[in-house]
Structure 1
Amino acid sequence: MLNKFAIAFVLVCAFCSSSWAQEDENPDDKKEVKTPKPEKLKVEAKNVFAEPIDPLDPARAAFYSAVLPGLGQAYNKKYWKIPIVYAGMGIGIYFYLDNNKEYKRYRSAYKSRLAGFTNDEFYGTINDDGLREAQKTLSRNREISLLVTIAIYALNIIDANVDAHLIQYNVDDNLSVTPHYKINEFDNKGDLGITVNYKF
């Protein structure tokens, strides 16, 4: 009986001494395995200097072009567009005035014929039907010239407005739009799309 206790006691002491030895070894192992702390992450931000956006700039440019054609383009510093605006409007006005002058000539001759006179400049070369057709054609051309002039005037206003918008458009390197093509995993078909990335 005493032998059994003695053997059990020796086993317990041996077990305890081995566990103490392991506990003593572990702190040393932890010191050796210890990894160095990672350094703090440093982020260097670039200094981006952007002009402040004025939301009234497009409206102001359009107003200037409405008051005086080409003034909105000058406000946007697109001076090369001013001659184009005036050339387009000048051509439209020239054709309007020319067609109007010719219309009045044919109209006066036709009225003279209706009054019974035979001394108009077209007498003997153009009959009454020809005078009527010429008036219709010249009247239509006059209206087209007027519409073209008004359209160029309107385009001058729209151009100034759009240019003012585009001048303030964000073209920062941090903003990118890229097209991409991806195979859909469900139906095995290709999908075409656009990815918008913004880097903070």
Structure 2
Amino acid sequence: MMKKALFVLGFSILVLHSYSQDQPVLLKDSTFIEAEEDAELFEEVSELNPQRAALLSAILPGLGQVYNKQYWKVPIVLGGVATFAHFISYNNKVYHGLRNAAILQSKNLPNPYQSIISSESSLVRNRDTFRRNRDLLIIIGSAFYLLQIVDAHVSAHLDEFKVNDRLALGIEPSIQSTPLFSQAVGVSFVLKF
């Protein structure tokens, strides 16, 4: 049994190796032609450098998207960065105010939040909440910053790929028969290529 398996494996490798010596086939105008010795191989090189797009996006958020000529993404990136910066700053400011108020409250001195929050435990609980929110926003904002760098890099890579016009995803109504001799009405997704 082992000898037969080794023979089949060896024969398969020999057959595959013998077919690998054929001339390459090129795709030209949706028809296959045999390659000639002087024919040039199809190669489309993108004008965009993915590393440059990522570097520009890391230096200034949104600049990599401008380099990729995806101008519609710039307001999204800048709006996201500005939103995270605003809320991080706000939570940090309130956290420091509550921290100072808790210190003053522990020394039995008047604090600016005394009319709103009377107990020291409430001050500490609110202080911890704003600190946790600030830290969470820093983590999410950093992930957003890295995501826009990755977006610029991947978009520059995908610039050289052309999408076939015949490739489409369609949504069509469908009627399916069920095992109980009835019909079910639904929606089907059809991939056309």
TM-score range, shorter chain: 0.5 to 0.7
2:79 equivalent in structure 1: 87
Greater strand content:
2
Q: CA deviation at 1:122?
A: 2.3
1:122 equivalent in structure 2: 113
Q: CA deviation at 1:121?
A: 1.9
Q: Which amino acid aligns with 2:88?
A: Y
Equivalence map 1:47-86=2 (5 Å): 52-54=44-46, 57-86=49-78
Q: Give distance in 2, aligned partners of 1:92 and 1:172.
A: 38
Q: For residue 80 of structure 1, give the secondary structure of its aligned residue in structure 2.
A: helix
Q: CA deviation at 1:58?
A: 1.2
1:151 equivalent in structure 2: 143
Q: Which amino acid aligns with 1:72?
A: G
1:133 equivalent in structure 2: 125
Q: CA deviation at 1:171?
A: 4.0
**Percent identity, aligned pairs only?**
38
Greater helix content:
1
Report the TM-score when normalising by structure 2. 0.59
Decide whether aligned partners of structure 1 residues 152 and 134 sit closer, same or farther in structure 2, where only a CA change above 3 A counts.
same
Q: CA deviation at 1:155?
A: 1.1
Report the TM-score when normalising by structure 1. 0.57
2:102 equivalent in structure 1: 110
Q: For residue 71 of structure 2, give the secondary structure of its aligned residue in structure 1.
A: coil
Q: Give distance in 2, aligned partners of 1:104 and 1:54.
A: 50
**What's the RMSD between the two structures over aligned residues?**
2.9
5+ residue gaps, structure 1, are: 1-44, 177-200
Q: For residue 69 of structure 1, give the secondary structure of its aligned residue in structure 2.
A: coil
Q: 4+ runs of 1 displaced by more than 6 Å?
A: none
1:183 equivalent in structure 2: none
5+ residue gaps, structure 2, are: 1-27, 30-41, 168-193
Q: Give distance in 1, aligned partners of 2:80 and 2:43.
A: 34
Aligned residues: 130
Q: Which amino acid aligns with 1:130?
A: S
Q: CA deviation at 1:82?
A: 0.5
Q: What per-residue deviation string (whole Å, max 9, x for no partner) do you get for residues 136-161 of structure 1?
A: 10001001111122111111101101
Decide whether aligned partners of structure 1 residues 145 and 71 sit closer, same or farther in structure 2, where only a CA change above 3 A counts.
same
Q: For residue 86 of structure 2, give the secondary structure of its aligned residue in structure 1.
A: helix
